């Protein structure tokens, strides 16, 4: 028995002074001045007590050409716990391998290593043309506890799907209770621009902004949302990065499309001028979509406050300096063009606090902060029966968040397995004092407890989607639990 005493419980319902009693792995009681006799007490005086954060966009142990993302399921989930995240959904699949193989490989990567609970999305690169076969495949995903997929409209050589494939996926997925996520960039246009830039000798990191401008994000959002509206499917846009992309989301909604969208801290805190420094330094800021302008940052913050964006995830995909220098091309000792710099930033440890800076700045209410980082991700991705709120019966995934603690976000103060931090010059106010995962304290004062590897469990999810994870009416999909 553990009682979290004297804090302010915050969830989207509101904020109130309350204690939280935990028995084993579950929350059993929430209320003022609970009897703590015989229980271990965790003092939360002066702190916010919030549901553990959920990061629905990570890439642990992901091979990218000659290199691999630096965090595996052990180091990545330990870092997550230190920063207040108690559940991640990682993208299973590295390319065009069959889903059975991708899922088996990702289970092997995570099993026995994860410190916190985890689920998988599957990356889908092909969908059977026969509707019965397509339906069966998506129902198999659900039977495996995977109720969300991602399709890429970019990267023609590795991952991109055409419109017909996306349409088949939307139809089959929605019937099965699977939410379709898209990486929204017009990949053919990005490749055309890239070839043009390289031919003109523009190989430096800053050229990335010209190769992948906001218009190609907006175009892909429009195309995907149009298809989704046609077939009556919801659509979740990952890592929305620009004001133009946001405008495309608004237009699609006005035309009747059910579009959900997330953004990531890098698009809220960093801008494209970071790509203009010395090449090796600039390389540390390469991600896709690329960093944008200040006006984009502003638009995204406003959309988080207004409810136009549903969630903040990270797209956590860190690399070491050495691997960034080496580049993705096999056999090359060093990258020779921006296209060969492995793209992705560390983020799984810093998201909860970075979004909290929006509360400090008056851009977000505390309730909205919790909604964006925990409750909405749980609801949209089929975890709301176990996670995303502080109420009896839920998993005891709880963060005691000290709103006054300060932390400098340099690589040495953090636990992600990389030697550089895109926020190295930033000191945040507000950091987890304690992170509890299914009843166990897994981090204290931003430092991990010992012996965490392997205690995280695979979360078999039921239906995902804007209906809040309920299977669609009349569906014959099986359910399973973790």
Q: Quick check: 61 binds Mn ion (CB under 5 A)?
A: no
Cβ-Cβ contacts under 8 Å for 357 (sequence gap 6 or more): 428, 429, 430
Q: Quick check: 340 binds Mn ion (CB under 5 A)?
A: no
Q: Quick check: 371 binds Mn ion (CB under 5 A)?
A: no
If you write DSSP's letter for every residue of 189-238 in order, what string do you get? HHHHHHHHHHHTT--STTHHHHHS-HHHHHHHHHHHHHHHHHHT--EEE-
Nearer to Mn ion, 327 or 347 (CB): 347
Nearest to 206 by CA among 259, 261, 283: 283
Rounded to the nearest whole angstrom, what is the least distance from the CB of residue 59 to Mn ion in the complex? 6
Nearer to Mn ion, 51 or 344 (CB): 344
Rounded to the nearest whole angstrom, what is the least distance from the CB of residue 33 to Mn ion in the complex? 44
Q: Quick check: 185 binds Mn ion (CB under 5 A)?
A: no
Nearer to Mn ion, 8 or 69 (CB): 69
Burial 353-372 (b: 16+ CB within 10 A, else e): bbbbbbbeeebbbbbbbbbb
For tokens 């419980």, the residue is: 9
Q: Quick check: 315 binds Mn ion (CB under 5 A)?
A: yes
C-alpha–C-alpha distance, residues 179 and 86, integer Å: 22
Q: Quick check: 217 binds Mn ion (CB under 5 A)?
A: no
Q: Quick check: 55 binds Mn ion (CB under 5 A)?
A: no
Nearer to Mn ion, 144 or 315 (CB): 315
C-alpha–C-alpha distance, residues 435 and 448, integer Å: 9
Question: Interface with Mn ion by CB under 5 A: which range of 98-106, 139-147, 256-264, 308-316?
Answer: 308-316
Rounded to the nearest whole angstrom, what is the least distance from the CB of residue 315 to Mn ion in the complex? 4
Question: Interface with Mn ion by CB under 5 A: which range of 103-111, 291-299, 312-320, 325-333?
Answer: 312-320
If you write DSSP's letter for every residue of 56-90 in order, what string do you get? EEE-TT-EETTEE-S--HHHHHHHHHHTTEEEEEE
Q: Quick check: 117 binds Mn ion (CB under 5 A)?
A: no
Chain residue at closest Cβ approach to Mn ion: 315
- C-beta neighbour count of 31 within 10 angstroms: 13
For tokens 């959002």, the residue is: 221
Rounded to the nearest whole angstrom, what is the least distance from the CB of residue 155 to Mn ion in the complex? 11
Q: Quick check: 90 binds Mn ion (CB under 5 A)?
A: no
Question: Interface with Mn ion by CB under 5 A: which range of 112-120, 138-146, 165-173, 310-318?
Answer: 310-318
Question: Interface with Mn ion by CB under 5 A: which range of 184-192, 213-221, 311-319, 461-469?
Answer: 311-319
Question: Interface with Mn ion by CB under 5 A: which range of 140-148, 255-263, 313-321, 457-465?
Answer: 313-321
Number of residues that bind Mn ion (CB under 5 A): 1
Nearer to Mn ion, 51 or 422 (CB): 422
CB-CB contact of 345 with 422 (8 Å): yes
Q: Quick check: 323 binds Mn ion (CB under 5 A)?
A: no
C-alpha–C-alpha distance, residues 365 and 175, integer Å: 36
Could you give the dihedral angle defined by the CA atoms of residues 20, 23, 27 and 28, in that order, rounded to the nearest 10 degrees?
-80
Which residues bind to Mn ion, rule: CB under 5 A? 315
């Amino acid at each position: 028995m553990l009682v979290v005493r004297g804090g302010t419980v915050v969830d989207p319902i509101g904020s109130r002074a309350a204690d939280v009693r935990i028995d084993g792995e579950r929350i059993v009681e929430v209320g003022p001045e609970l009897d703590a006799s015989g229980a271990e007490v965790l003092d939360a005086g002066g702190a916010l007590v919030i549901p553990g954060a959920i990061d629905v966009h990570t890439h642990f142990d992901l091979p990218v050409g000659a290199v691999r993302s630096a965090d595996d399921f052990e180091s990545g989930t330990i870092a997550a716990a230190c920063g207040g995240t108690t559940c991640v959904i990682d993208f299973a699949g590295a390319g065009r391998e069959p889903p059975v193989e991708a899922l088996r490989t990702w289970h092997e990567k995570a099993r026995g290593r994860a410190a916190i609970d985890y689920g998988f999305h599957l990356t889908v690169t092909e969908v059977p043309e026969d509707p019965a076969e397509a339906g069966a495949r998506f129902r198999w995903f659900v039977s495996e506890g995977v109720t969300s997929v991602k399709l890429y409209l970019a990267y023609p050589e590795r991952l991109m799907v055409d419109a017909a494939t996306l349409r088949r996926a939307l139809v089959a997925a929605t019937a099965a209770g699977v939410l379709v996520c898209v990486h929204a960039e017009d990949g053919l246009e990005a490749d055309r621009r890239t070839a043009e830039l390289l031919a003109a000798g523009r190989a430096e990191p800053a050229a990335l902004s010209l190769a992948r401008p906001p218009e190609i994000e907006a175009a892909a959002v429009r195309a995907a949302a149009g298809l989704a509206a046609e077939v009556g499917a919801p659509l979740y846009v990952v890592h929305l990065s620009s004001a133009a992309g946001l405008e495309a989301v608004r237009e699609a909604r006005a035309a009747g499309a059910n579009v959900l969208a997330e953004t990531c801290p890098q698009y809220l805190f960093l801008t494209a001028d970071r790509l203009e420094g010395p090449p090796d330094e600039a390389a540390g800021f390469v991600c896709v979509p690329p960093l944008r302008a200040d006006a984009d940052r502003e638009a995204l913050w406003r959309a988080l406050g207004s409810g136009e964006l549903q969630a903040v995830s990270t797209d956590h995909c860190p690399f070491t300096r050495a691997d960034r220098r080496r580049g993705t091309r096999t056999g090359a000792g060093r990258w020779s063009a921006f296209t060969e710099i492995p793209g992705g930033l560390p983020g799984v440890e810093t998201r909860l606090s970075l979004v909290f800076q929006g509360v400090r700045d008056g851009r977000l209410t505390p309730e909205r902060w919790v909604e964006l980082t925990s409750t909405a991700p749980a609801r949209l991705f089929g975890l709301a029966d176990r996670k995303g709120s502080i109420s009896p019966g839920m998993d005891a995934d709880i963060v005691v968040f000290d709103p006054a603690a300060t932390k400098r976000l340099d690589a040495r103060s953090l636990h992600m397995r990389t030697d550089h931090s895109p926020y190295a010059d930033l000191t945040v106010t507000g950091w987890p004092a304690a992170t509890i995962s299914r009843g166990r304290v897994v981090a204290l004062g931003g430092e991990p407890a010992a012996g965490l590897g392997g205690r995280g469990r695979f979360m078999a999810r039921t239906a995902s989607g804007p209906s809040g994870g309920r299977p669609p009416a009349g569906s014959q999909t099986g359910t399973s639990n973790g």
